[in-house]
Amino acid sequence: MTRFSAPISESIWDMKYRFKEADGTPIDVTVEDSWRRIARALASVESDPAAWEPKFYAALEDFKFLPAGRITAGAGTERSVTLFNCFVMGTVPDDMGGIFEGLKEAALTMQQGGGIGYDFSTIRPKGAAVKGVAADASGPLSFMDVWDAMCRTIMSAGSRRGAMMATMRCDHPDIEAFIAAKSDPARLRMFNVSVLVTDAFMEAVKADGSWDLVFDGKVYHTVEARDLWNKIMKATFEYAEPGVIFIDRINAANNLSYCETIAATNPCGEQPLPPYGACLLGSINLSRLISDPFGEGAALDEAALEELVATAVRMMDNVVDASRFPLEAQAAEARAKRRIGLGVTGLADALLMVGLRYGSEAAARQTERWLHRIARAAYLASVQLATEKGAFPLFEADAYLQSGTMQTMDADVRAAIAEHGIRNALLTSIAPTGTISLYAGNVSSGIEPVFAYSYTRKVLQKDGSRTEEEVVDYAVQLWREKFGDADLPDHFVNAQTLAPLDHVRMQAAAQKWVDSSISKTINCPEDISFAEFKDVYMAAWDQGCKGCTTYRPNAVTGSVLSVSDSATKDSEAEKGEVKPVSEARLDGDVVYISEPLDRPKALEGQTYKLKWPLTDHAIYITINDVIINGHRRPFEVFINSKNMEHFAWTVALTRMISAVFRRGGDVSFVVEELKAVFDPRGGAWMEGKYVPSILAAIGGVIERHMIATGFLEGEGMGLKTDPQAEVMAVGEAPRGPACANCGSHALRMIEGCNTCADCGFSKCG
């Protein structure tokens, strides 16, 4: 017997969360071993670990409480990784030395697996005078490019690329350039970007007033507020970015407004954080707490919910003490405030089980009630912890209780905090749960609606063969088990059929009892008018949301899934089911694999000499190929130089590129990534072309080798044969980007994160 209700769930566990030896030998033999490992690690900081370990195990058992991926993968492994998901870095100073010190801190944080957020509003605008050097400032966008290039070169712990959030105030003189930055598809690809929108700006937009763009007290430009708002809306309408963060609302509601000011968020926006703030995440799986699902007595077991929440709060509080931190400043910040972010997943499935239509007023009321119960239970559990272990060090009762969030909290909870203090400054947040939701049986993600009631997953094997399996939403699977092939009830709706304002209603209902924020994507139809699109953001503002993120499929963002248009009465479209637009194909020259290929004893290869004009020594690049199904593809790279200044990064690049090549898939993206790196000190002219960096030159060498061996058709042409091309009909909607892990075009946008329907990979973890 297995605890996994779907094959994809076991695959996710094995790929992302199962503890293994360096050679891939499993240490966690079963998922029960993983739960035991986590429970033991988090109980180890208790005065009586033996008493708490079984209680922690019971919370984890059957996927009831889902710690975030960092905890699930890292707790109890003794690896040098952080258990915190992401961080907001220190305030960026407006001087060159401080900026690059910040860059170093960012690199160290991402190296340990943490995503980062930054506010770039503190850097003087482009063209401003730089005292003492008779020069003009290059502006914050130029330094964002440097951060972006750094992020491209770092593979974080657990083989995850770093994720970054960049914010800028709506009154910064370079805000219009910031808004337009993502219109260039090659720029800032490692960043999510969001505009910090103030209350004053929203008032100016509604009043159709003017708006000053200011830095350091100097007005650089004056614009019409509504024109600037329309530029933000137009950019996100066309490119899905920037997001909007209502920053004054966040600071007014913050329990810690008396001792911190927030100007940035983590990469997915659910954790507004101060400088060096860290977010620690976990989710209650509501779908596992419904008694008599789809029956007349279907209801959430609120007693079980409160008990589970109390245990989860204790476990997450222990993570603060059990975790490593990339920087001491992050450790000090986390321990001074002991902030945690307990959220939910499986909300949409739970609503389906009790007969409510996601997005309806009744569903919003039930969501608000459930989240209220969770908030009460979390705060009271933290008060109990404070009586046992002490309040967080910066706790000040009067100031804490005067914050916007605490003024709306229940009177008995406020009284308990006043009397005993509280262990954790903030307790609730709703994070992206795409991957852990798949791991938990493909429950609906976070507070999102069900994305697809079922879809066909393509599983590509090591030998090049492929298998197909149906992946069914958890609630739909329960329905089938109870009622067989009976049609789904009318209250079953999915993300594709919901009106955007229904999404906003659900986000606003949840936000009332979430003291941090919410990661949610509001899906909009491609044909939504621009006026209706803007109404979504204004509704989010009017209904009390702390931010807004939308996704509208189009030729730029891609349209990766589409509702079937079959006219058959019993078709999947009738049931609201969603299928991928296209199916992944396997062609002879490209192999998508889930395990590294074995290295033959001998390989054919070629060595290339690269003379970078700005250095004294040449770089030698050896590329070895492997033959798969009669076709030649790159397998490993060796990069060498006599210049010892190059030693560390050439070794790192050798290992990273070789590791990518051995995993298979569309490895031509390596060329694309390298060629996009620019050196802020300047590039060089080579053979009549400007090459922006030595890394870009190496990318060019690898690309020419791929062309020579037949893997690529030509420069900048990607795969020689697109594995999806034969199934794309003329005029069909664009597929969007390929998954970086498996190469399929089954990405879907959930909670601001591209999540692969085939392998479960998500840039957000």
User: Residue 756 forms beta bridges with which residues?
Assistant: 747
Does residue 524 have an active-site annotation? no
Distance CA 280, CA 325 (A): 12
Which of 105, 241, 260, 270 is labelled catalytic?
A: 270
Structure tokens at 345: 């997943």
| 42 phi, psi to nearest 5 deg | -80, -25
Nearest to 140 by CA among 169, 163, 116, 161: 169
E strand or H helix at 207, and its extent? helix 199-207
Among candidate residues 170, 268, 279, 764, the one labeled active-site is: 268
Tokens of 18: 């199962």
Contacts of 175 (CB under 8 A, 6+ apart): 168, 169, 195, 213, 228
Asked if 53 contacts 43 with a C-beta cutoff of 8 angstroms, the reply is yes
Distances (CA, A) of 536 to 67, 228, 547, 684: 32, 17, 11, 47
CB 309 within 8 A of CB 342: yes
| Contact between residue 334 and residue 278 where contact means Cβ atoms under 8 Å apart | yes
Known catalytic residue at 266 = yes
- What count of other Cβ atoms lies within 10 Å of the Cβ of residue 662? 18
Out of 192, 251, 254, 266, pick the active-site residue. 266
Bridge partners (DSSP) listed for residue 224: 210
Positive/negative CA dihedral, 206, 210, 211, 216 = negative
List beta partners, residue 748: 755
Nearest to 452 by CA among 568, 349, 565: 349
548: annotated active-site residue: no
Alpha helices in 244-346 (DSSP H): 247-253, 302-322, 328-337
Q: What would the two tokens of residue 327 be? A: 């920087």
Question: SS3 of 204, please?
Answer: helix
Quote the distance between the C-alpha of residue 49 and its chain's center: 33
**Cβ count within 10 A of residue 483:** 12
Report how far residue 717's alpha carbon sits from residue 659's, in angstroms, rounded to the nearest whole number. Answer: 23
Residue 319: both structure tokens together: 């993570």
DSSP 558-626: ---EEE-----TTSTTTTT-EEESS-----TT--B-SSPPPPPS--EEEEEEE--TTSSS-EEEEEEEE
* 237, 240, 246, 250: CA torsion to nearest 10: 160
Length of the chain equals: 765
Q: Where are the beta strands (DSSP E) in 268-394?
A: 272-273, 278-279, 281-285, 290-291, 299-300, 341-345
CA atoms within 13 A on the CB side of 48: 5
| Cβ pair 92, 120 in contact under 8 A | yes
CA 547 from centre of chain: 16
Q: Which residues are catalytic?
A: 266, 268, 270
